[in-house]
Amino acid sequence: MPEKPATYANFPEREQKVVIGPNINAISTKALRRMSIGTYEMSFMQQERGKNTADAARTAINHVAKALGLTVSPETHRDFVYTASAANAEMKLQVWVTTPFELTQSAHIIWAKFQELSGEQKVGVAFKLNTGYTFEDIENVLKAAQKNAIVLPEGEPFVLKGNPPPRFAKKVVAPVAEDAAAAVTEPAAADEQPAEG
């Protein structure tokens, strides 16, 4: 069977290639590949939702950066509702809030990237697709990027992996077998005791 070609995501950084890996649903895959509209084309409702998400992203990156001892520097970019980076000598954390994909809907993506600047130089990427966000949502995306960090060979793309569906999870049967074994041995032990009399 021929190998399926890699599906690249429309990741905000051109230097870092991101491949859409297994267990990411079709809706997310389609959205991750699309180009978003610019900030100038957004409708009033999209601008309102975008402002709320930008405020949540600002709060989230400041909160995570304070815990890690990073310095936050917001950036302006016409293709994003909000973008900022937080860095020190050891690590860098970035967040991007994309604009929606169409004029008639408000779904947009939060991208986060974690990068070690020294040591193993791990790289981690995470995303979330939704129509509205709280700062806890964005903070979880930033933490997921840290958790996903792996050592990437030079020039290799980062592979986004989704959560496998529960039906493919391996079942744990060991505790059930131990309980059954204990139930079988206890009555046998009771039969061996001498009868009083």
Q: How many CB atoms lie within 10 A of CB 70?
A: 19
Residue 13 to residue 35: CA distance in whole angstroms: 13
Q: CB within 8 A of 37, min separation 6: which ones?
A: 99, 100, 101, 102, 103
- Residues 79-128 have pLDDT tens digits of 888 899 998 888 899 999 888 888 788 888 899 999 988 888 889 899 88
pLDDT at residue 9 greater than cutoff 50:
yes
pLDDT at residue 141 greater than cutoff 70:
yes
- Residues 179-196 have pLDDT tens digits of 544 444 444 444 445 555
Instruction: Give the pTM.
Output: 0.76
Residue 96 to residue 11: CA distance in whole angstroms: 10
What's the distance, CA 48 to chain centroid? 25
Please report, for the chain, the start and end positions of each structural domain, with discontinuous segments joined by +.
Answer: 18-165
C-alpha closest to that of 71 among 98, 96, 90: 90
Q: Using alpha carbons, list the distances in angstroms from residue 192 to 82, 101, 102, 105, 179.
A: 75, 75, 77, 74, 21
The C-alpha angle 143, 145, 150, rounded to 5 degrees, equals: 125
CA atoms within 13 A on the CB side of 75: 12
- Report the SS3 class of residue 189: helix
